[in-house]
């Protein structure tokens, strides 16, 4: 409930206006977000990507946004993503580009999101860039998967995120992905109704492991996207990890000690970077999924 309340405040237009009109509040919140977001502008994401790649990490890049409310803003988001792909191509940065389908139209019209995805996929294919679709609330899962399936049938450079906490995911994984498709497996970040998902627990960790195994056996290329050290150790013990088609992926600013340790041990690690003016939305997601982050945010504010 705390998570949902925080996210719904962050989505409110009056909240955006309030922080826009209050330079002090803006600066304080911006400082709290700095741990998780590379900056407001594309160049901040690109420079962070270069720094991490120089250290031996692969990267994903997200231009932050979700649930875009009108067609014009969806088109603006697509333009930004096309510019990002263009810049990555020019700089020779082999980053993966990640986004929510609701950022490019899914909340307005499924066909609009599907058309935008095809535009992005074509440009990305020519640039040698991989696109990755994030997974949102379970109310959107069917739509997201159907848009993904339509585009992935034509474009091999599109991956999909699946949430281990949803009961439906094993079936989605075995029925909706083309052979050798890239899948990112996450625990899941949204508050869901009873009966749809399971909470953080050993049962969820077991399910996560089963999904990774299923994906590996199916021949999918897997991004194991978690910061859960115990789970990561179990995955390493299984021996799937170390195959070129399995990598670890972690969010920028979360457990950098762990990503560094894994990289030093020779495992492929990808860092998920974000940038954009809606950084406060991303900050709320990170605090909501791990409430102790509120203390870090407050400490950052006090130090301002």
The residues of the shown chain that bind ligand FAD, judged by CB under 6 A, are 134-135, 161, 163, 184, 186-190, 200, 225-228, 249-251, 254-255, 272, 286, 289-290, 293
Residue 280: how many other CB atoms lie within 10 Å: 22
List C-alpha distances in Å: 193 to 6, 105, 141. 17, 24, 14
Structure tokens at 36: 């998780």
For ligand FAD, give the closer residue by CB, 157 or 226: 226
Q: Identify which of residues 123 and 191 has a Cβ nearer to ligand FAD in the complex.
A: 191
Task: Specify the residue, 21 or 145, whose C-beta has the smaller distance to ligand FAD.
Answer: 145
Nearer to ligand FAD among residue 165 and residue 240 (C-beta): 165
Closest separation between CB of residue 242 and ligand FAD, Å?
19
- Cβ at position 68, least distance to ligand FAD in Å: 16
Closest approach of ligand FAD to the CB of residue 22, in Å: 26
CA distance 56 to 41: 23
Residue 295 in tokens:
């203390």
**Alpha-helical regions (H) of 153-201:** 169-175
* Assigned token pair, 186: 């996450």
The Cα 213–Cα 188 span in angstroms is 18
Q: Hunting for tokens 């945010």 — which residue is that?
A: 297
CB of 172 to ligand FAD, least distance (A): 13
Cβ closest to ligand FAD, residue 26 vs residue 290: 290
Q: Minimum CB separation from ligand FAD for residue 85, in Å?
A: 19
């Amino acid at each position: 409930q705390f998570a949902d309340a925080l996210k719904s405040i962050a989505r409110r237009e009056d909240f955006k206006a309030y922080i826009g009109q209050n330079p002090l509040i803006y600066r304080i919140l911006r400082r709290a977000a700095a741990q998780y977001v590379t900056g407001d502008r594309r160049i901040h994401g690109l420079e962070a990507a270069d720094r991490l790649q120089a250290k031996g990490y692969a990267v994903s890049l997200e231009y932050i946004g979700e649930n875009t409310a009108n067609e014009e803003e969806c088109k603006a988001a697509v333009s930004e993503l096309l510019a990002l792909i263009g810049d990555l191509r020019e700089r020779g940065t082999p980053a993966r580009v990640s986004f929510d389908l609701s950022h490019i139209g899914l909340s307005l019209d499924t066909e609009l999101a599907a058309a935008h995805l095809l535009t992005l996929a074509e440009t990305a294919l020519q640039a040698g860039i991989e696109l990755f679709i994030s997974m949102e609330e379970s109310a959107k899962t069917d739509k997201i998967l159907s848009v993904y399936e339509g585009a992935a049938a034509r474009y091999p450079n599109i991956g999909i995120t699946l949430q281990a906490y949803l009961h439906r995911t094993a079936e989605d994984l075995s029925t909706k992905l083309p052979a050798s498709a890239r899948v990112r497996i996450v625990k899941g970040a949204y508050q869901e109704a009873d009966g749809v998902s399971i909470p953080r627990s050993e049962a969820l960790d077991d399910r996560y492991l089963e999904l990774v195994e299923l994906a590996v056996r199916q021949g999918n290329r897997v991004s194991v996207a978690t910061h859960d050290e115990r789970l990561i150790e179990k995955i390493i013990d299984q021996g799937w990890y170390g195959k070129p088609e399995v990598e670890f992926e972690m969010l920028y600013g979360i457990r950098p000690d762990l990503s560094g340790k894994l990289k030093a041990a020779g495992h492929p690690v990808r860092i998920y970077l974000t940038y954009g003016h809606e950084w406060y939305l991303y900050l709320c997601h990170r605090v909501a999924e791990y409430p102790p982050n509120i203390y870090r945010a407050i400490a950052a504010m006090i130090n301002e």
